[in-house]
Amino acid sequence: MMEGQLQQLAASTLARIGEAATPEQLESVRVEVLGRKGTLAQISKDMGKIAAEERARVGKLLNAAKNELEGALDRRQSEFEQAALQARLDKEWIDVTLPAPGVRPGSLHPLTQIQQELEDLFISMGVAVLYGPEVETEYNNFDALNIPPDHPARDMQDTFWLSDGHCLRTHTSPVQVRGMARFGPPLLMIAPGRVFRNEEVDPSHEHTFYQLEGMMVDRNVSIANMLYFMKTLLRHIFKRDVTVRLRPGYFPFVEPGFELDIQCLICGGPGCPVCKQSGWVELLPCGLVHPNVLRMGGIDPDEWSGFAFGLGLTRLVMMRYAIDDIRHLQGGDLRFLRQF
Amino acid sequence: MKFSYNWIQELVSGLDIAPVELMKRITIKTAECEGVEAVGAHFAAAVPARVLTVEPIGGSHNVKAVVDAGPLGERTVVCGAPNCRPGLTTVYIPSGTELEGRRIERRVVSGVESDGMLASAAELGINKDHEGIVVLDGPLPKPDHVIEVDNKSLTHRPDLWGHHGMAREVAAITGLALRDPVDLGRILKGEPVFGVDIEDLRLCPRYSALVVEGVKVGPSPLWLQQRLTAIGLNPINNIVDITNFVMAELAQPMHAFDAAKLTGQTIFVRNAKPGERMAALNGESYDLTPAALVIADAGGPIALAGVIGGMESSIGAATTRIVFESANFHAASVRRTSTRLKLRTDASIRFEKSQDPENTVRGMARAVELLAMVAPGARVVGGLSDRRAGFTPPPPIELPLEWLVRKLGREIAGADVRRILEALQFGVEEARPGVFSVAVPSWRATKDVSIKDDLVEEIGRMEGYATIDPKPPLVPAAPATENPQLHFFRALRRLCAAQGYNEVYNYSFLSEADVERFGLKAEAHVKVANPISVEQGLLRRTLIPGIWKNVEQNSKHFEAFRLFEIGFEIHGKQAQLPEETPHLCAAIYSRAGDAQQFYEAKRLAECLMPGCELRPAEARSYEHPSRAAELLWRGETMGRVFEFHPRHIETGRAVVLDVDLHAMERLTPADRRYRPIRKYPESAFDLSILAARQALVGDIEKQLRQLAGERLESIVFQRQYEGEPLPEGVKSVSYRLTVAAPDHTLSNEEVTAVRDRLIQGMQQLGYELRV
């Protein structure tokens, strides 16, 4: 009798588990059948009433029914959990193509970028980076660089003179003077910075631009050494080997003085509009430091010699990014600056 | 400086390198050339022609002329020149020739077929005469090329301001022989007619004068005019043209005075007297000061030494007797006078380069020779008057070969050194084995070449720098000296860019209007004495006007943006260089602005200087009166944060952070130390304080911090609230406070004690607490 009752209960409970529509319904089935006061518990209590020889067999059946029902309940339970999780996840759909909020990084000025790049290159070569003031003494800007008053070379650099008798530095070369005074020989330094020339502004001329001065003072420094240094430098700047040539150039603070040309990177030599059909592009002035400059810097030219060069940072920036109007660089226009 | 190829060719025997190639070689070996230009190419096709017949053409001012064009035979042309008459010898340009950029074609003019043309001197590029067809006075001028050399690269080379100097270079470059156009034998001995009196031989190391009479002033022959025109000089008359020709050939400026217009028989070279005035050849009148050196006769100044001649004594049509001046003047003195009078002349440009005193008599000899060619009938009267300072040639330069090799960084044979220097007309002797004794020629000795380093250039450039192989220098393997500012600036830039700011570079210049707009006085600024324009009259002592301009301009294109600049404020100082203070100036702009920009700017300040604080400050004229603050860090003022006054910003709002980077760098901690991580748990509780609306949250926080004492780990602002149920004018400010001890876990009683202390303390300070 009990056996039949058990079978019927199992069958009807399995059906109810399958039919439960909510976790709550399922729970009520569990309480009703498997709970402490549930039907199975009741049957279990009634076990004492049946014959001892039957008890073991019915007990087994009872356990099997209990396990079967618990398994079914758990499976159904996890089906509900799975469905709930799925529903939550579905609800959490987002549009990944929406624009991200927040501030975007700004930018560094292209001149800053090229200056930092060159500073890093020189630092890696053991070169000290020195800065100097925008306003200089006439002595540092001219006299100490072997350009005495009334020297026609002063015309080469149209100068802004100031009401206090000083001038805006026309080149970064006065930092040579400061470097020699501060460190003495041997000396390996560069000086990037802002310089000024009293010139009308147009797409290719500025009264304010950027240079990078370099100077090396050591024993027995030769033109061959200078060439090596320049070639190394230019290879890093242009990320490729460049063919260079030296030709005479006059700068009172060097002797001999040179203009260093590089073979045109656009046409490679045969001539094009960029190099004005010459195959060469004038890039930087350089030379062996004039003994007078060393002497005025407190360095004995019989013992020490050196070379110096000047790179136009503004020019490099314009070459690198193909900028056709120099005025953009100090124009403060974000439409320009945001491109870098 | 323009050089005529033909002229150089006359001075360098056998020169046959094409002009373009010659230009390249000059660029590599001597001085930078800017280009080469063909001049008078039409002379290749032109022929001398005699006018045979001239017939009027009815109804036209033109005439029909038949000319005998020599090898081309007879040609018929229509000509409009008033001087076209039979018998005239002129220049015929055949059809198909390019002239002044157009092609001469056979065409019908006034009903007559015209084949080719008769040209004026102006059309031929000889002079500016357009009045009629040219009257040919000798052989036809030749086509030429003009090589233009960059003047800057001739700054140190007085000798290269004349063709003979450049010819010397060309001869050395090509290995050809140099011809000297000067025959000193042209100067005959004799008693001078005019005396020369030099007051200061330092300012005028040499003055040579010679008198010529029987002069008939008129145009120079066409070949001479064409030569001057080709290199950019204006033909004037035969006498003036001689002086210009000598200058262009020998770099020796000359002058000619009309002797009849001079007072007395002595030329004085002296400083001007106060109040003296001179009318110059350019039509201007100059007030002279004693700083100016003048040439004077007994009556007063007749020329500004080395700069320009006087009008009164100038050569005119009636001149018959002249005094030639060929002199040498002190470079700096000429330059000062020329700079002061803003008068740069062909003469002053040359003298300021330190011309060679030996050259004056050479110039005179060449002038006398030319006189015979271009002013027939003129004759020299008396001998040369020649005053000069005592002159000792500089001692020879010792040039050790071994030293030279070290400088060049390559081997060079003694024979090559000698060859090169001798080609440039240096005197070379081998003083001792391996040491040359080099005598510098007078035209290189005035300034250009004085030490052995100068000779390195001569040998290096002529041998060719391309022959030097790069060699790595021997340098100590040592790290470079650190530049702390470099790292400091870089970190700032990186941070600003990461926070969305775009870097701008503004000029160091401001205008008076710029500074006045920002409440500053122009007088407080270092002024530019020679500005290009009023826009650049002052040096900036703040970056704010520049940043303001950036904001104004960019607000036309963008709804919102951030930008920054790192630049130098320039503060003038008495009797020393100005102080240049680096500043960071950053701005945030928003067209739909609210108070948020202000706190964004403050956030940047906190990123840069953790723990910095803002205090309300009295607003400056350009600052929003309720939104201006002083920025403090580690007890010192670092700068300001403010919103621009609405008067200064048309639409939207812009907030500026301005930081003194000197001060900031000084206070930036150099190194940090580790603090052990706390072992025992912390406890947190919240407090809400009721305060008047304008009570400063910063003050409340400071008071809480003080009251909390050493157990306080952190105090974090949660929110502030105004409105129901709080009364009007009252706000509630909430903080979360965290307390802990380094050596044990705080008990409930300990935490409560801190909390009670805070509550009581705040109540004593007059605050209510919302519990």
Query: Hey, is the C-beta of B379 within 8 angstroms of any chain A C-beta?
Result: no
Q: Decide: residue B469, CB within 10 A, 0-12 exposed, 13-18 middle, 19+ buried.
A: exposed
Classify the complex by whether its ipTM is higher than 0.90, answering yes or no: no
Class of domain B484-667: alpha beta
Q: Please state the separation of Cα A261 from the chain's center in Å.
A: 32
pLDDT of residue B393: 87
Architecture of domain B184-388: 3-Layer(bba) Sandwich (3.50)
Of all residues in chain A, the one with the smallest CA distance to B351 is A152
Query: Hey, is the C-beta of B59 within 8 angstroms of any chain A C-beta?
Result: no
pLDDT of residue B309: 96
Q: Is B453 or B678 the better-scoring residue by pLDDT? A: B453
Interchain pair A225, B530: CB under 8 A: no
Mean pLDDT, chain B, whole residue set? 94
pLDDT of residue A159: 93
CATH number for domain B397-466, candidates 3.40.30.10, 3.30.56.10, 1.10.150.570, 3.40.50.920:
3.30.56.10
Report the DSSP beta bridge partners of residue A232.
none
Who among B478, B501, B553 is closest to A126 (CB)? B478
Q: Among B563, B543, B584, B510, which Cα is nearest to A337's?
A: B563
Report the DSSP beta bridge partners of residue B279.
B285
Give me the residue label for tokens 């073979």: A263
pLDDT of residue A100: 93
Interchain pair B470, A231: CB under 8 A: yes
Chain B CB contacts of A201 below 8 Å: 532
Topology of domain B683-770, CATH: Alpha-Beta Plaits (3.30.70)
**What's the one-letter identity of residue B159?**
D
pLDDT of residue B392: 85
Phi-psi label, residue B95: left if phi above 0, alpha if psi -120 to 50, beta otherwise = beta
pLDDT of residue A1: 61
Across the range B679-700, mean pLDDT stands at 93
pLDDT in tens, B605-624: 999 999 999 999 999 999 99
Q: How far is CA A1 from CA A39, A46, A50, B489, in A?
A: 15, 12, 10, 95
Q: What number of H helices and E strands is found in chain A?
A: 11, 9
Q: Reply yes or no: is the peptide bond before residue B725 cis, omega within 30 of 0.
A: yes
Across the range B448-467, mean pLDDT stands at 96
8 Å CB contact between A224 and B470: yes
* Polymer length of chain B: 771
Domain ranges within chain B, ordered by starting residue: 2-40+144-174, 41-118, 184-388, 397-466, 484-667, 683-770
Rg (CA), chain A: 44
Kindly give the interhelix angle for A223-238 and B401-408, rounded to the nearest 10 degrees: 0
Residues of chain A with pLDDT below 70 are: 1
pLDDT in tens, B548-578: 999 999 999 999 999 999 999 999 998 899 9
Chain B stretch 344-373, residues whose beta carbon is closer than 8 A to a beta carbon of chain A: 352-353
Give me the residue label for tokens 């084949």: B115
Phi-psi label, residue B549: left if phi above 0, alpha if psi -120 to 50, beta otherwise = alpha
pLDDT in tens, B420-443: 999 999 999 999 999 999 999 999
Interface probe for B, chosen from A223, A244, A281, A286 (most Cβ of B below 10 Å), is A223
Q: How many CB atoms lie within 10 A of CB B277?
A: 11
Q: Among B206, B216, B228, which Cα is nearest to B364's?
A: B206
Q: What contacts B223, CB < 8 A, 6 or more positions away?
A: B138, B139, B141
CA distance B753 to B759: 10
Give me the sign of the Cα torsion angle A220, A226, A231, A233. positive
Across the range B190-202, mean pLDDT stands at 95
8 Å CB contact between B740 and B711: yes
Q: At CA B59, angle to CA B58 and CA B60, rounded to 5?
A: 95
**pLDDT at residue B771 is higher than 70:** no
Chain A CB contacts of B552 below 8 Å: none
Residue B364 — very low, low, confident or very high, per pLDDT cuts 50/70/90? very high
pLDDT in tens, B274-309: 999 999 999 999 999 999 999 999 999 999 999 999
CATH number for domain B2-40+144-174, candidates 2.60.40.10, 2.60.40.1730, 3.90.640.10, 3.30.56.10:
3.30.56.10
Q: How far is CA B639 from CA A190, B588, B602, in A?
A: 31, 16, 12
Interchain pair B500, A126: CB under 8 A: no
Interchain pair A248, B31: CB under 8 A: yes
Phi-psi label, residue B149: left if phi above 0, alpha if psi -120 to 50, beta otherwise = beta
CA distance B57 to B536: 64
Chain A CB contacts of B498 below 8 Å: 105-106
8 Å CB contact between A47 and A62: yes
Tell me the DSSP string of B536-598.
GSEE-S-SHHHHHHHHHHHTTT-SEEEEEEEEEEEEEETTEEEEEEEEEEEEEEETT--THHH
Q: What contacts B590, CB < 8 A, 6 or more positions away?
A: B559, B560, B596, B597, B652, B653, B654
Number of A–B residue contacts, CB under 8 Å: 249
Task: Express as a percent the part of chain B with pLDDT over 90.
Answer: 90
Interface probe for A, chosen from B37, B147, B155, B492 (most Cβ of A below 10 Å), is B155
> What stretch of H or E contains B2?
strand B2-4
CA distance A208 to B278: 40
Who among A151, A153, A246 is closest to B465 (CB)? A246
Across the range B486-500, mean pLDDT stands at 97
CA distance A263 to A266: 9
Who among A161, A229, A248 is closest to B30 (CB)? A248
Class of domain B41-118: mainly beta
Report the DSSP beta bridge partners of residue B308.
B304
CA distance A256 to A286: 9
Chain A CB contacts of B503 below 8 Å: 106-109, 112, 337
Q: Confirm or reject CATH 3.30.930.10 for domain A110-337, answering yes or no.
A: yes
Chain A closest-CA separation from residue B246 CA (Å): 23
pLDDT of residue A223: 97
Chain A closest-CA separation from residue B477 CA (Å): 8
Phi-psi label, residue A298: left if phi above 0, alpha if psi -120 to 50, beta otherwise = left
pLDDT of residue A43: 83
Give me the residue label for tokens 């969305």: B500
**pLDDT at residue B501 is higher than 90:** yes
For chain B, the maximum distance between any two Cα atoms, rounded to a whole number of angstroms, is 134
pLDDT of residue A61: 86
pLDDT of residue B178: 97
Kindly give the interhelix angle for A110-124 and A223-238, rounded to the nearest 10 degrees: 130
CA distance B65 to B67: 6
Report the DSSP beta bridge partners of residue B615.
B630
pLDDT of residue B748: 94
CA distance B461 to B454: 11
Give me the residue label for tokens 């910063």: B698
Kindly compute the dihedral angle of the four CA atoms of residues B708, B711, B714, B719, in this order, to the nearest 10 degrees. -40
**What's the one-letter identity of residue B352?**
E
Task: Express as a percent the part of chain B with pLDDT over 70.
Answer: 100
Tell me the residue ranges of DSSP E strands in chain A: 128-129, 135-136, 167-168, 187-196, 208-218, 244-248, 254-263, 280-289, 305-312
Query: Hey, is the C-beta of B665 within 8 angstroms of any chain A C-beta?
Result: no
**pLDDT at residue B111 is higher than 90:** no
